[in-house]
Amino acid sequence: MIFEVFRQEREGQPFQHGGSLEAPNLAFAETYARELYGRRDESFALWIVPRESVEEVLDPYVADVFDRDYRRVDGYSLKVKLKEARERAGTAGTG
Amino acid sequence: MNAQELLALADDELILGWRNSEWTGIAPFLEEDVAFSSIAQTEIGHARAWYELAAKELGTDADAVAFDRDPHEYRCAPLVEARLVPDWAQTIARHWLYETADSVRIQALMNSDDPEIAGLAGKIDREEAYHRMHADMWAERLRDEARFRTAVDELWPSALGLLEPGQRGRLCEVTGRDPVDAVERGEHTEELRPLWEEMTMVRRSIPGAAW
Amino acid sequence: MNDTEFQAYVQEGGQVETGDAMPDDYRKALIKFIEMHGNSELMGVLPEREWILRAPTLQRKLALTAKVQDEVGHSQLIYRVVEDLGKPREACLEDLVAGKTKFHNVFHYPTKTWGDVAVIAWLVDAAAIISQKALLKCSYAPYARIMKKICWEESFHILHGRDCILALMTGTDEQRELVQEAVTRWWGPLMQFHGNPIVAEDDPMYHWRIKSQANEDARQQFLDGYVPQIWELGLTVPDPKLRQRDDGVWEYSEPDWDELKHVVTGHGPKTEERLGFRRWSREETAWVRRAVLADAA
């Protein structure tokens, strides 16, 4: 069986894919993962997952047909409105 | 615990580590090769720690103690001397028996009056936990293989001989096996001398040199 | 993407993952190249492992075992990449021991003394690391990723090698002679290691961006880095033509490219013995793989 190993480089960091290994079962996979990804004390923690349990998703989102700029920072344009608001309040040119 | 007793512990670990490192590069599959190599390294590391304690008492250094004695001066048990490559069943049988027996004596040493020995035994025990896990895992996996069961039966008398008589009952308990006449420590097998010759050949080629 | 578009894609820095569509020729070239790398790591273990048993101090024994263990670990990483490309590990190992696939020239030669152990860790590993660093840019992303881990682990090997060499060079005359004798013997294979200079335009490995460093560049990098180190210790290299020009380029006697070809096609001094040893150990442990790894033989 092939197992995928995810490793956390330091405490608090995201788990990242480290590699894969072959083992008869989870107990062996754990031993081997420790050795291959931990014998130099280079991982804070490991996740071991049978490859068949990992679902690959390519092209994660299919929503580029209609514009969804309300979801993005560049979808907002505040300069003009801010200038007008400051003029109304008499504070234009002071900030 | 005197220097001779320390040497028995150290020599067992060195010679077993030496034998286990004969598998480096040719273990049954690559993942296991890496794992088994770590076990061999840890054993040699433990040997070094015991040699360092013995060296203090003997007024020398760990390498001199480890390598500069004659074969008959080594105190290792017959169990560790045999060359078992390429037989994986025998290798795992010895590994499992050794780790089980070793844990009996290490745990006894953790109660030693000597704080240095108790401390070192504690550290070693923590690392040995991984060896025991590995050995148990393999013993479980090979349980139905006749060649493995035969190998355990054949090595059992030597496994008993690894321990002092007072500890052998505990080993029987833990393994669920009946006591038999042990192959006692004291007389070396004919395999030790060729091992020693190879192990010390570089060092003996230029005596006193630093490497 | 057709083949031309794919080639443009990788040449511009495009990355390829395992499940991506790729030209058959690309896949085949990758498998061949990466498989040879895996074979080399695994065969490289054999000249070194005897010396683990003979290491003259506990420290050296531990360091050498760890180094060799890393090499086995590297072959594990590499064969996994090959397997995911479509050639199972067992098939790779069968082809290797049957003499059907290749491994690097340096691993076909004998190791005769502790001097060899030190020189291998110092110079042979250095030559290999230069090639390995160039592979960090491989278009095939899974391979580039394992190269990161491999390069990181190799950094320890370099220090170990240097430490062994310096211990010998500050030791007795006999120890210094061990090093010189080993350097003299290994120089030929080292100069051949990076391969004969091939024009990049003619090499599909560059078109596919599997390789991104020319053989001659790698060799020059090696000479630049290591000839000064060799000379500063008072060691000599058996090439009277070796010198660095004013423009920085190293000149040297032309390596024997026929010898290189002869060796890597399975006729090195130790090739047959080492393949035989691997064949034997595989046969003796086949039952373990059958018992333990469901689909392996």
Virtual torsion, Cα C242, C245, C247, C253, nearest 10 deg: -40
Q: Could you tell me if residue A71 is inside a domain?
A: no
Phi-psi category of A5—alpha, beta or left, where left has phi over 0 and alpha has psi -120 to 50?
A: beta
ipTM for the complex shown? 0.96
- Interface contact B25, partner C, CB < 8 A: yes
Ranges of residues in chain B with a pLDDT under 70 are none
- Which of B106, A3, B38, B129 lies closest to C65, judged by CA? B38
CA distance A15 to A5: 9
Count chain A–chain B contacts defined by CB atoms under 8 A. Answer: 27
CB contact under 8 A, B25 and C68: yes
Q: In chain B, which residue's Cα lies nearest the Cα of C287?
A: B28
> Where residue A6 sits, what CATH number does that domain have?
3.10.20.520
CA distance C146 to C74: 8
Q: Could you tell me if residue A86 is inside a domain?
A: no
Q: For chain B, which domains are there?
A: 3-205 (1.20.1260.10)
For residue A31, the chain B residues in CB contact (below 8 A) are: 35, 130, 133-134, 137
- Interface contact A40, partner B, CB < 8 A: no
For residue B31, the chain A residues in CB contact (below 8 A) are: 21-23, 28, 32, 35-36
CB contact under 8 A, B209 and C175: yes
For residue C292, the chain B residues in CB contact (below 8 A) are: 28-29, 141
Q: Which domain holds residue A25?
A: 2-53
CATH placement of domain C3-289: 1.20.1260.10
Q: Could you tell me if residue A58 is inside a domain?
A: no
The string of pLDDT tens digits covering residues C253-296 is: 999 999 999 999 999 999 999 999 999 999 999 999 999 986 54
Mean per-residue pLDDT of chain B: 96
- Looking at the structure of chain A, the number of domains it has is 1
Per-residue pLDDT of chain A (95 residues; tens, 9 = 90+): 999 999 999 999 999 999 999 999 999 999 999 999 999 999 999 999 999 999 988 877 776 667 777 777 777 888 888 888 999 898 876 55
CA distance C275 to C291: 24
Q: Could you tell me if residue A25 is inside a domain?
A: yes
pTM of the model: 0.93
Residue C199 clears pLDDT 80, i.e. is over it: no
Q: How far is B32 from chain A (nearest CA, A)?
A: 7
- Interface contact B137, partner A, CB < 8 A: yes
Q: Could you tell me if residue A92 is inside a domain?
A: no
CB contact under 8 A, C45 and B198: no
Q: Can you give the pLDDT at residue A95?
A: 53
Q: In chain A, which residue's Cα lies nearest the Cα of C146?
A: A19
Q: Could you tell me if residue A64 is inside a domain?
A: no
How far is Cα of residue B133 from the mean position of the Cα atoms in its chain?
Answer: 16
Mean per-residue pLDDT of chain A: 89
Q: Could you tell me if residue A18 is inside a domain?
A: yes
Q: Can you give the pLDDT at residue C297?
A: 36
Q: Could you tell me if residue A47 is inside a domain?
A: yes
CA distance B123 to B85: 29
Q: What is the pairing mode between strands A2-8 and A15-22?
A: antiparallel
Q: In chain B, which residue's Cα lies nearest the Cα of C60?
A: B211
